[in-house]
Structure formats: structure tokens, C-alpha cells
A and B are shown apart, each in its own frame.
Chain A
Amino acid sequence: MSALRVVKSAEFDLLEVRRDFPALHQKVHGKPLVYLDNAATTQKPKPVIDAVDRFYRFDSSNVHRAVHVLSDRATKAYEDARTTVKQYINARNEREIIFVRGTTEAINLVMNSFVRPRVEADNEILISALEHHSNIVPWQLLAEQTGARLVVAPIDDRGELILEEFQRRLGPRTALVAVAHISNALGTIMPVREIVQMAHARGVPVLIDGAQAIAHLPVDVRELDCDFYAFSGHKVFGPTGIGVLYGRESLLEQMPPYQGGGDMIRSVTFEKTIYNELPYKFEAGTPHIAGAIGLGAALDYVSRVGLVRAAAHERELLDYGTALLGSVPGLRLIGTAREKVGVLSFVLDGVHPHDVGTVLDRDGIAVRTGHHCAQPVMERFGVPATTRASLALYNSKSELDALAHGIRRVQKLFAV
């Protein structure tokens, strides 16, 4: 291999990446699709689509059950995917990787099997003010059922966690800290390393909601030293309906099962059931086998592209987009954290986000409008909703130009 090619292979080739995603090459309302709703869900590259297709075409079978060839292939592919996840987030072993439906189920699993059995009426769950509803509502359910309290650490006007305020709220009553790694509504990267250190200094376990981080930052659960880490496959170019709960093995061992059923047992009699070992103890019923295989393919894909290079590309896009939108009169960016990923959440004077979204859609531009399942964040910034453009590794500067152009069209239409 020539030196030139080595250099080239180390570069981030946007056109090549875009070619991997069939959905990007379509027209919407006669215009080329500009997909900027990646914080909601990502498009899928061919290797993921092919992996799922191959499973259903040739290997469809149940796992951990039968002696026939198909079941053996399905089991192997499913467990290989678990190994891929383990390596991707640098877990110690496969027993720490539990396949779930998504981040929401992972958080509910921790709530039900870890926190609920040990929580007392005067205990507190400490979260931040920029959490997604999925990291708020499970704790409110817990609070209703146990009398525990939900405590919220505030954020500042940039959308950054006020770390001293967080620390002040950590106390002898704190049973768990549960925070997002990255805010879905604002893009803020949270200081999770410091949060874990502060919590562990007081003996408090930490759950990190990694839904928004997994496609944008290298995640190393051992370096983070978190106790639980949750993410969804569909946010990282994998299928919907599959996600992961990473849990520290020593904690998972102590926890009772989350659901009862097949696969999670070692032996069942009407008198007594012995649960299966980790991670199967937490995987009752036939799992989303194709989803797990697709997720494994997605993580392999991201590793091949190189997350560090992709992140540098996204950072460049974010800086470009921030400057571009910042120059639009009457546009206010919501969420200006110094450490953030590619989320451009904004409000336009005189135009409701819902109308912005409809006009942009006719230009082929897909953005999210609304409260982004983070109503308390909207309240914090005094807006009912925002328009949110969220980036992924396959987005380009010309797509951001199209967004800025679309915004000017909106302003013209509404004469603002």
C-alpha cells in the first residue's frame, strides 16, 4: 500500500460514508432529502440492513434452544453481537451486557431491579434539569410507589449543569444518580466523569443515559467508572427495538430479575425456580435477535468509519452551523454549552416551531419540532417548543446551507 493511500484511508470520506446510507439518496417533495433529525433516530447503513436481511433470509431461528443448525447460527450471531457491544463500550465481559428494547427499558430495568428493592421512603434520586422524559418518569413512578423523592440539579443559561449545585444535592439520602451523557434537546455534553467521581465519593451508584452519546462520543464504561450505562440501537445506526443496559457485574449479580419467562431460568418447578446466570437472568422471552445482530453490525460500521474522525467532522459541522444560524436575524439558539455535540435547537421570532418544521419539510429538510420529550428543559428556557436540527456523521455543510436557506424562506413567508 502506498503512503498516499494510507493517508487517504485515515481521512474522513464524507461521500463514501453517504453512499453507505440508501435512505439519504431520495427526494422528498421533489427536493433532495436533508435529514437533520438524528437525535430522534438515525438512518441505517447497508451493512446493518444486510445483516438483518441475512438473518431473516437464512438464519431465522430461536436462540439458546435447539440443536439444529439454524438455531446454532442464530445463537452464535446473537452472542457475537453481545461481544461487539462489550468491546465497543469496553465492558469487562459479556455478562455485563444485557439486551433490552432501548434506553427507556434499560432505565426501567434499573429502577425496578436495582433501586426499588433497596430504596427507602426518605431516599432521593438525583437527576439533572436537562433529562429526557425517559430519565424522569421512571423515577417519578418509583417515588409514587416508595415515597422516595426526585431531586433535580439545575442547569445554567448555556444549558450546562451547575456542578456545585449538583454536588450540594448529593447527600446521605441519595440512592442513585441518573444523568444523561448528552442532552437530547440541547446537545450539552455532561461532565459525567466528575459526576461519577462525586457520587462514588459518597458511595452513590450512577446510571448514565447514553442514548444521545453513543453515536457521537467514544464510550468507555470502565474509564467512566459508571455503574450502569444505557443506550438504544436506533440512535447509532442500528435497528429500532433493541438497546443495551451495561451493568457492573457485582451489582447485576445482586439484582432480582426484571421480567419472568423463558430463557431467564435455569430450572422451573412449581415450588421453586432457579434463575439463569448473567446476562440471561435479565433477558426473559425470545429476544430481538435480528435487532441485536443489526446493532452489532452498526457498531462494527461505526468502528470501521472511525468514531474519532466522525466526531471531528461533526464538530466542524456544528461550528459551521452555529455560525450560520447565529447570523440569522431573529433566531435564538437554545443550548450553547461549551462542550456540546451536533444539536442546533432554536426559536425564531414570530414563527412557531411547528410552522417552521412544516415549511422546511416542503424543502425536503427533516427537523424535529416540539419539546423533544424534555418539557422541563423547554420550561427552563421559557419556550414552549423549539426547532431542532441534529447532526450525524453523514451530514454535510451544504445541508446546513439548505437549512439556513429554508429558515430564510420561513421568515419571508411569515414576513418576519
Chain B
Amino acid sequence: MKDIEISDLYQEMIVDHSRRPRNFRRLDHATHQADGFNPLCGDKVKVYVDLENDVLRDVSFEGEGCAISKASASLMTETLKGKSKSEAEQLFSRFRDLATGSGDGSDLGKLAVFSGLRGFPTRVKCATLVWHTLRAALEQTSGIVSTESSEAQAR
């Protein structure tokens, strides 16, 4: 099989979102929030959600990390505004399938831009950390989500 090129991973939209992340701010009226951490590379992310009647009225994030993690967070927040909790959960599941190469990215909208991740298995965690952190926020799990915890691994 042909190698997936570096430009398949770092597509223009990803580079753009990593350089100018959207919804990159603290959300003062957040009803839910959680911290995520990847101890292997030091990526840190904090996700804020304003949840009303099971709908994500607003989503934002703060943190530092690589281009993939920042772009993933930026595009996730854009995508999830106005979605319900269960829709968010379904998107996460499809996003993960896309990243690991078992899904085709249909119904993912802009998030399909991460299809190149299937050629870079070491970078999948960079993209999914923010989603795990979102889930923790919605579940109001206490503590910090880590890419290296058994729970995150199993998911």
C-alpha cells in the first residue's frame, strides 16, 4: 500500500486551525468542564461546555499542544455547537473510527479532514485527547483525563 503522505495529515484546514484555533478561550458560563493530559508528549487541554437541556449550547477549549491536537480541538468545538449529548457521542465514535482507519468519515463534515491520521497511528491520541476530555466534562468525571489511563485506552 502506498504510504500516506505527510500532506494528507497536515491538510490546509488542519494547519489553519492549529495556527488560528477557533473557540480558543475560557467559557465563563460553562456548566461542565474537564482537563485532559497526554503525559507522553505533554499536551494539555481544558474543555468547557455550556449544556442546556442536553444540548451543547457552547463549547470552547484552552491548552497547549501539537498542531493535530489544537486543530482537533478547534474543529471539535465548531462541530459540536448546537448538537445534543448523544449526537456528540456518535460523532466521537465515528471520529475515532476515522482516525484508526476503520471508518470512512461519512457524516463527519469538516472532521473528515483528519482521515490522514490512519497513516500515522502514533498521532491518533493527539486528535482524540480533546474528545475524551469532552466526554469527561459531560460526565462530570472528577480528576484529569489521561491518554495513558486504562479507561482512555479501552475507549
Contact = CB atoms under 8 A, between A and B. Distances in A.
B42 A385 contact: yes
Interface in A363-416: 369-371, 375, 378, 384-385, 413-415
Nearest to B5: A362
Interface in B37-53: 40-43
A355 B42 contact: no
B10 to A, nearest CB: 6
A352 B3 contact: no
Contacts of B123: 354, 358
B68 interface: yes
A354 B66 contact: yes
B143 to A, nearest CB: 20
Contacts of B10: 355, 359, 413-414
A355 to B, nearest CB: 5
Interface in B1-56: 3, 5-7, 9-10, 15, 19, 40-43
Given A350-B19, A371-B42, A384-B42, A362 B67 contact: no
Contact of B126 (A354, A384, A413): A354
Contacts of A362: 3, 5-6
Given A352-B67, A414-B15, A414-B67, A370 B3 contact: no
B139 interface: no
A217 interface: no
Interface in B48-72: 64-68
A265 to B, nearest CB: 38
Main secondary structure of the interface of A (DSSP, over half): mixed
Interface string A134-169: 000000000000000000000000000000000000
A30 interface: yes
B9 A358 contact: yes
Interface string A336-371: 000000000000001111110011001000000111
A384 B64 contact: yes
A193 interface: no
A76 interface: no
A19 interface: no
B13 to A, nearest CB: 13
A30 B67 contact: no
Given A355-B66, A358-B120, A370 B40 contact: yes
A329 B10 CA distance: 22
A55 to B, nearest CB: 33
A353 B9 CA distance: 16
B65 A358 contact: no
A363 to B, nearest CB: 9
Contact of A354 (B5, B7, B41): B41
A385 B41 contact: yes
A370 B9 CA distance: 20
14 contacts: A350-B19, A351-B67, A354-B43, A354-B65, A354-B68, A355-B67, A358-B120, A358-B123, A369-B41, A370-B41, A371-B42, A375-B42, A378-B42, A414-B10
The 8 residue pairs across chains A and B that have the minimum distance between CB atoms: A354-B66, A352-B66, A362-B6, A384-B42, A355-B67, A355-B66, A354-B41, A385-B42
